[in-house]
């Protein structure tokens, strides 16, 4: 019984109501990907109806497994990958695991020591690290998966720093008739900002377009505002490509404060598809970044290692998608 004196729902009751064996229900909570869709659906309905949760404490005593995983991330950072963490957490819970987030500080060696301490504590069955580690995986008693998409300050690298949508953005603006561009590049300590700036400059050159210049300072909206306010009246700029949505929204406000129409006089593109940009007036053209798929895929790799299964192959896809909204239109002379 539970604390209120109500009989505790058992796995056998779930199995009886779903019309399956208790071994099948046990498989459902361990790793339901091997079950037939109709079987999963029947168990889903009963689990939701009874609000059933497996007794993880009893299971760990029987199997010497904790059904707990951890995500390690650097302690000294103001940037939390909330969307990735949420997707990774949901993926873990769907497979019957509990998840905790731990912070590790210091350089790569020190962080590796902290992760090895956690791995040897018996509290978790696997660790997903969002920070680089100087670690031999064979030295860990439990699987450790290190994502390659963040540096030690949680700045995006590799796939998160992919700048390829810049070509599509400039190509679309050029197709509308824009010839003179301006780039607000953001903090150059970030690989993503450096990559977007380099590809912007290369694409402008390859297409025979004109760049008035590049403003690079920070990710704050104020930087975007100041960059546009600082443009001379005769700059000829009709298209602004900003390295994130905050800079872009600052740029829009800077243009409007000068009496420029957006997109009547100048078009503005951002990056990240932040929610506020969708509801701004005008709504912001941007690049949507699917950080959730990264969280799901990274957690799937860890769970596969914990279970001794082959690592799942990631789907062929790009995490970036260009979205054209109200801040983009033809230049005034078109």
Q: What is the CATH number of the domain that holds 141?
A: 3.40.50.2300
Residues 88 and 114 in one domain: yes
Compute CA distances 226 → 76, 153, 230, 258, whole Å.
Answer: 29, 27, 6, 11
Q: What pLDDT shows up at residue 63? A: 45
Distance CA 239, CA 328 (A): 8
Residue 97 covered by a domain: yes
Structural domain ending residue among the three candidates 121, 154, 187: 154
Asked if the model's pLDDT at residue 168 lies above 80, the reply is yes
More confident residue, 307 or 134: 307
SS3 14: helix
Give the model's pLDDT for residue 110.
Answer: 81
At residue 170, the pLDDT reads: 97
Boundary of a domain, candidates 154, 184, 217: 154
In a domain, 304, yes or no: no
User: What is the C-alpha to C-alpha distance for residues 307 and 46, in angstroms, rounded to an integer?
Assistant: 26
* 77 DSSP assignment: -
Residue 284 is predicted with a pLDDT of 98
- pLDDT score, position 62: 45
Residues 232 and 115 both lie in one domain: no
- The reported pLDDT for the residue numbered 55 is 58
* Better-predicted residue by pLDDT, 236 or 85: 236
**Beta bridge pairs of residue 72:** 102, 129
Going by C-alpha positions, the residue among 130, 117, 129, 125 that lies closest to residue 143 is 125
Would 334 be classed as within a structural domain?
A: no
Distance, in Å, from the CA atom of 162 to the CA atom of 159, rounded to the nearest integer, reads 5
Whether 313 is covered by a domain: the verdict is no
Which domain, by its residues, includes 23? 11-54
Quick one: pLDDT at residue 107?
75
Q: Residues 145, 226: one domain?
A: no
| pLDDT value at 86 more than 60 | yes
Tell me, yes or no, whether 71 and 23 share the same domain.
no
**Is residue 124 predicted with pLDDT exceeding 70?**
yes
Residue 329's Cβ-count burial label (10 Å; 0-12, 13-18, 19+) is: buried
Q: How confident is the model at residue 61 (pLDDT cuts 50, 70, 90)?
A: very low
Same domain, 182 and 271: yes
Return the higher-pLDDT residue of 52 and 33. 52
**In a domain? residue 309:** no
Q: Does the pLDDT value for residue 316 go beyond 50?
A: yes
Mean pLDDT of the chain: 83
At residue 191 the predicted structure's pLDDT band, cuts being 50, 70 and 90, is confident
What is the structure's pLDDT at 53?
66
What is the percent of the chain with per-residue pLDDT over 70, rounded to a whole number?
A: 84
| Local confidence band at 60 (pLDDT 50, 70, 90 cut-offs) | very low
Strand, coil or helix: 72: strand
122 and 87 fall within a common domain: yes
pLDDT band at residue 76 under the 50/70/90 scheme:
low
What pLDDT was estimated at residue 160?
57
pLDDT interval class at 171 (50, 70, 90) = very high
Name the one residue in this structure whose structure tokens are 């030690």: 152
Question: What's the 3-state SS for 152-202?
Answer: CCCCECHHHHCCCHHHHHHHHHHHCCCCEEEEECCCCCCHHHHHHHHHHHH
pLDDT of residue 115: 86
User: 194 with 244, same domain?
Assistant: yes
- Average pLDDT estimate for 304-329: 86
CA separation (Å) from 319 to 133, 190, 241, 289? 25, 18, 19, 5
Cβ atoms of 40 and 18 closer than 8 Å: no
Q: Are 255 and 266 in contact (CB under 8 A)?
A: yes
Answer whether residue 134 is part of any domain: yes
Domain for residue 3, yes or no? no
* Mean pLDDT lowest among 143-157, 180-194, 231-245: 143-157
Burial class (CB in 10 A: 0-12, 13-18, 19+), 232: exposed
pLDDT at 315 over 70: no
Kindly state whether residues 116 and 45 are assigned to the same domain.
Answer: no
- pLDDT classification of 149: cutoffs 50, 70, 90: low
Domain count of the fold of the chain: 3
- On whether residue 329 sits in a domain, the answer given is no
């Amino acid at each position: 019984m539970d604390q209120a004196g109500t009989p505790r729902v058992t796995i056998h009751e779930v199995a009886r109501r779903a019309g399956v064996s208790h071994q099948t229900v046990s498989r459902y909570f361990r790793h339901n990907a091997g079950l037939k869709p109709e079987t999963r659906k029947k168990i889903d309905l009963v689990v939701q109806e009874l609000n059933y949760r497996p007794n993880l404490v009893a299971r760990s005593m029987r199997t010497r497994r904790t059904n707990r995983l951890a995500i390690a991330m650097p302690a000294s950072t103001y940037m939390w990958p909330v969307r990735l963490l949420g997707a990774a957490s949901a993926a873990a819970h769907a497979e019957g695991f509990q998840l905790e987030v731990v912070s590790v500080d210091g350089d790569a060696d020190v962080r590796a020591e902290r992760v090895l301490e956690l791995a040897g504590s018996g509290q978790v069955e696997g660790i997903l690290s969002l920070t680089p580690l100087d670690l031999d995986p064979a030295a860990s008693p439990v699987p450790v998966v290190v994502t390659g998409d963040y540096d030690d300050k949680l700045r995006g690298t590799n796939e998160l720093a992919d700048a390829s949508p810049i070509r599509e953005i400039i190509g679309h603006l050029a197709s509308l008739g824009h010839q003179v561009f301006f780039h607000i590049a953001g903090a150059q300590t970030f690989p993503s900002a450096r990559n977007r700036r380099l590809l912007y400059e290369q694409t402008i050159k390859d297409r025979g377009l004109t760049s008035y210049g590049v403003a690079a300072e920070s990710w704050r909206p104020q930087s975007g505002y100041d960059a546009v306010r600082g443009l001379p009246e005769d700059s000829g700029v009709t298209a602004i490509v900003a390295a994130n949505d905050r800079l872009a929204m600052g740029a829009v406000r800077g243009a409007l404060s000068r009496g420029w129409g957006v997109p009547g006089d100048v078009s503005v593109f951002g990056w990240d598809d932040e929610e506020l940009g969708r509801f701004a007036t005008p709504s912001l053209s941007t690049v949507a970044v699917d950080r959730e798929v990264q969280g799901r895929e990274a957690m799937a790799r860890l769970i596969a290692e914990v279970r001794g299964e082959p690592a799942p192959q990631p789907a062929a896809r790009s995490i970036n998608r260009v979205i054209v909204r109200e801040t983009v239109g033809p230049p005034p002379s078109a």
